[in-house]
Structure 1
């Protein structure tokens, strides 16, 4: 192929997952572009989407590795800018409609529910009274922000908390949230799973093993990655969950509980470190090769 495709990476400059994906693309094509969305300008008068002198509309593809450091409604504005390039014929991975559904936790959850995916018991309401009743009914519950990653901003409430403490926590949560998203905690065995898919095909599964000082297993809270070998039934659950969306690369978060496996969420921007450290697989290379195959299809 004389003219190798030019693929840009939407991400956070300097962040490992962003940079390693750009590295893998550069190795294959000789072209490298890491694009920070806060420096992108859409010029509707000239139909250009500019980043540091580069018109993204001239690229063959864009990979949305990380669209913002912190999720917020503003993240959806960035998706709209990229959807303009997508409609103009630039291939975007994952498609902007799919990413948009997953930036907001509520829309992502509803897609899983409609796909009949087993999840922890979940209630959503604007009513403080209903939220309080739900927390008390669940016994142990987690308040989850609609826009967050890596368990940031989550509040855990238990049977041991007083009514006053629970009401104060609900009030504090609502100061930054439009609606209560309340999920019953599940009994983990100290780990949860990240099941990786590329182009809808199963790649590997790693476990996030928590440290004993934190209620969650995220790496931010001191967890570590280990290899996990799922059975065919569990892989099929992961496949079914990610199929609720049209994603080019994703990690399905699965917990093994005494009630059977449940899906916490499907990630729009799954990272590569779990596959590398847990499974010894260079998922960034696999993803780059998948994108290049898709872009070069006649």
Structure 2
């Protein structure tokens, strides 16, 4: 056993958080799961604590999940962890890297700047402009800027009744002042999770939609299965994740009639899909990687 202290920022009791903590404990003899709701920052002493633990005294922190659901408060929690980073604690992935992914708009703009193909997208605060985009796109997926697993996403179809269309859009805008909408592409009920550790490709799994569901998320009844991609698809996913400088991530890719598109790059990556769909023990690999980096 080593004397390393590497904590897991996550959701206590959740499988992915606990399995990562177990892998670290098996290698170091130290186990600590940190719920950000329990973290206290004292700026005068520049201390960051969780219970009896001084996080600024840790060797490393792995951010597996910083909140149950994404929201602007997620960014506040990341800001707190900057104190530990500034104290010399190695944080996986860096807070600045995660910042650029938690907000869907920020992630999309970075992907666009890198020339990554995505579904046709419109971002606007105008109901009239959103209605015009829906008419151009046909069926559109309206997505909250802060969400995971398709939570809060709404399908709105093009229609001849302009007033009804605007009413549907206004209902979404009531909860999402800045509207993000994408053309709904034909995925044939399946999309891909392509897994990377330190920029190196590990493997791919497919998410298959439950019959009758428009999205593939496990949250809505989807399932995982194995998938072997072409080299060109691996290259696309590698280019998509590269600008974010992440230690571990999953790139969400869709195979459409017009070619592959990237939906997003995950701030944290999925362990269960990697394990069940691609037989990748991501928790074990990530724990070993973090220990190596802390020691170096």
Could you say whether these structures have the same fold, taking a TM-score greater than 0.5 normalized by the shorter chain as the test? yes
Q: RMSD between aligned alpha carbons?
A: 1.2
Q: CA deviation at 1:173?
A: 1.3
Equivalences for residues 245-256 of structure 1 within 5 A: 245-256=244-255
2:20–2:287 contact (8 Å) kept in structure 1: yes
* Residues in 2 aligned to 1:4 and 1:228: alpha-carbon distance in whole angstroms: 40
Q: CA deviation at 1:169?
A: 2.1
Could you say which residue in structure 1 is the equivalent of 2:17? 18
Q: Which moved more, 1:164-173 or 1:244-253?
A: 164-173
Could you say which residue in structure 2 is the equivalent of 1:33? 32
Q: CA deviation at 1:161?
A: 7.9
Q: CA deviation at 1:231?
A: 1.3
Q: CA deviation at 1:196?
A: 0.4
**Residues 139-185 of structure 1 deviation map (CA, whole Å, 9 limit, x = unaligned):** 11010000000000000112358434422221121112231111001
**Residues 40-96 of structure 1 deviation map (CA, whole Å, 9 limit, x = unaligned):** 001112221010110000000011100001111111110100011111211100000
Q: CA deviation at 1:33?
A: 0.5
Equivalences for residues 59-78 of structure 1 within 5 A: 59-78=58-77
* Residues in 2 aligned to 1:266 and 1:82: alpha-carbon distance in whole angstroms: 21
Q: CA deviation at 1:4?
A: 2.9
* Residues in 2 aligned to 1:176 and 1:15: alpha-carbon distance in whole angstroms: 28
Could you say which residue in structure 2 is the equivalent of 1:115? 114
User: Does the alignment pair 1:189 with 2:188?
Assistant: yes
**Residues 100-157 of structure 1 deviation map (CA, whole Å, 9 limit, x = unaligned):** 1111000010000011000000011111110111111111101000000000000011
TM-score (structure 1 length as normaliser): 0.97
Could you say which residue in structure 1 is the equivalent of 2:241? 242
User: Does the alignment pair 1:206 with 2:205?
Assistant: yes
Could you say which residue in structure 1 is the equivalent of 2:278? 279
User: Does the alignment pair 1:84 with 2:83?
Assistant: yes
2:253–2:263 contact (8 Å) kept in structure 1: yes
Q: Give the direction of change, closer, same or farther, for the CA distance of 1:159–1:176 in structure 2 (3 Å limit).
A: closer
Q: Which moved more, 1:156-165 or 1:284-293?
A: 156-165
SS in 2 for 1:62: strand
* Residues in 1 aligned to 2:161 and 2:153: alpha-carbon distance in whole angstroms: 18
* Residues in 1 aligned to 2:40 and 2:157: alpha-carbon distance in whole angstroms: 46
User: Does the alignment pair 1:94 with 2:93?
Assistant: yes
User: Does the alignment pair 1:217 with 2:194?
Assistant: no
SS in 1 for 2:264: strand
Q: CA deviation at 1:205?
A: 0.1
SS in 1 for 2:224: strand
* Residues in 2 aligned to 1:138 and 1:85: alpha-carbon distance in whole angstroms: 45
Q: Give the direction of change, closer, same or farther, for the CA distance of 1:160–1:213 in structure 2 (3 Å limit).
A: farther
* Residues in 2 aligned to 1:295 and 1:179: alpha-carbon distance in whole angstroms: 40
* Residues in 1 aligned to 2:164 and 2:26: alpha-carbon distance in whole angstroms: 54
* Residues in 2 aligned to 1:23 and 1:72: alpha-carbon distance in whole angstroms: 28
Q: Give the direction of change, closer, same or farther, for the CA distance of 1:269–1:161 in structure 2 (3 Å limit).
A: farther
SS in 2 for 1:66: coil
Could you say which residue in structure 1 is the equivalent of 2:263? 264
* Residues in 1 aligned to 2:290 and 2:163: alpha-carbon distance in whole angstroms: 52
Could you say which residue in structure 1 is the equivalent of 2:57? 58
